[in-house]
Chain A
């Protein structure tokens, strides 16, 4: 497989046409798509976006999930290598733990194209395309401040500590919110991106701080958990702002529940990754910097109806 590809690339590089092997006519080869569990629709949207584009471009696909387990991810990389994948599209299971398997694939001649989450090193993956979480968090925080009327007590739900995105979103939130002396954070706790955990955390935070006026959440699943706890406690007056742009939160926004979220264009980012993989495989380069930031979009009642599966219709 690899030899064939090199021959193909070599002949293209020499400008020889008409000698392309029959290989290209059937399938362009296998693209392996690895993400966290599809239980979170965000990751399913990534897999769907990558799968659709890869098939359009003539590749076979193999869709796998690592369940945020670095050992499982490592095994999936071995599988991709054994299957002779042309490229791997990955939303990884840990910024540090993912470096070794991606290097292993690289050594086997298989380029990796990362989406959503970064790894701690550059020069191993070909592309790392991530949402501009900092810009997105600032958008969400500006809307949160506006909704809060620039004053009152609030709590923050943090994502999983091992995930860079949890830290960067919190930093982006506070860069804005901390400018307003009238806003006071009375509790800040992780719910590990989990809806059920967020429900429990919200219940206890609400008991300890009944005076809160708002909740800013590191992602939408936690925002959904928090909103359910607030509803159960009869506190639908509390302002909740999330991050991701899920259909669940979209529906809640349209129903007057959660007030806002920030869309990460997961579907489009996954498609960009496949496009870059294709360009790399056919031209030998993506023509782009390895690490790329893609802007997020604020979702409010005004535009929520145009949101579907992590993609905003224009």
Chain B
């Protein structure tokens, strides 16, 4: 709790003057975008991407911390909403694609980050992306600033869509390719699978 509060305070201090505008700015028939679309437009590149890059923890460091328990890892590296619940983490790392499912609407890549051949995380590549980690890992998206749960859920979906729309992956089987990733994931228990929403995903090799 105290940490969450401190985070809120420090985030407020850092972001003074650029807090997200609270009220839906337009209700006319010629409204160019919904409140949520406007928030994504205003914040994704200028606030969210820099925040992810600045706050991301090396994946190996994070996994080692998680081995010591979710609460401790969360307190050290994560962020949790005011009502408690999942710990949200930002991370970056490299690994090899060892499998996945590109057929599903909720497509994923399995990535081995520690070289043992087994997948350590699943990277969600859309078009359907599960969860609200990308929204909840950023201290400047605050539920109070949105009209209701529906609008706040829409924000999470819009951020997820924006993230995966920006991915430029070649088609086909990517197994065996090296990849560098950056993004967000949420855990409710230390043993849950890691489902990353990537804000950056780059194939590295190697023809």
Contacts and interface: CB of A to CB of B under 8 A. Distances in A.
Contact of A167 (B81, B84, B85, B150): B150
Contacts of A165: 149
Contacts of A295: 83-86, 188
A292 B5 contact: no
B8 A175 contact: no
The contact size tier of chain A is: 20 to 34
Interface string A106-147: 000000000000101010000011101111001000000000
Nearest to B83: A292
B123 to A, nearest CB: 17
A293 B153 contact: no
A168 B153 contact: yes
Interface stretch (A39-47, A188-196, A201-209, A282-290): A282-290
Interface string B8-43: 100000000000001000000000000000000000
Contacts of B106: 179
B8 A289 contact: yes
A28 interface: no
Nearest to A181: B105
A291 B157 contact: no
Contacts of A171: 150, 153
Q: DSSP class of A's interface residues: helix, strand, loop or mixed?
A: mixed
Interface string B125-167: 0001010100000000011110111101100110000000000
Contacts of B132: 134-135
Given A165-B149, A175-B157, A293-B81, 5 more contacts: A122-B144, A134-B156, A167-B150, A172-B153, A291-B82
- The winner among B1, B81, B106, B142 for most chain A CB atoms within 10 A is B81
19 contacts: A95-B148, A120-B148, A129-B83, A132-B83, A134-B149, A134-B152, A138-B130, A164-B150, A168-B150, A175-B157, A179-B105, A287-B1, A289-B82, A289-B142, A292-B82, A293-B81, A293-B85, A294-B84, A294-B85
A292 B104 CA distance: 33
Interface string A253-289: 0000000000000000000000000000000000111
Interface residues of B, number: 29
Contacts of A132: 83, 85, 149
B144 A291 contact: yes
B149 A118 contact: yes
A84 B96 CA distance: 65
Interface of B: 1, 5, 8, 22, 81-86, 104-106, 128, 130, 132, 142-145, 147-150, 152-153, 156-157, 188
A146 B200 CA distance: 31
Contacts of A293: 81-83, 85, 143, 149
Contacts of B84: 294-295
B186 to A, nearest CB: 10
Contact of A179 (B8, B104, B142, B152): B104
Given A122-B22, A292-B82, A164 B143 contact: no
Contacts of A290: 144
Contacts of B157: 175
A267 to B, nearest CB: 15
Contacts of A138: 130
A133 B83 CA distance: 13
A135 B130 contact: no
A167 B153 CA distance: 11
B143 to A, nearest CB: 4
A287 B149 contact: no
Nearest to B188: A295
B82 A134 contact: no
Contacts of A164: 148-150
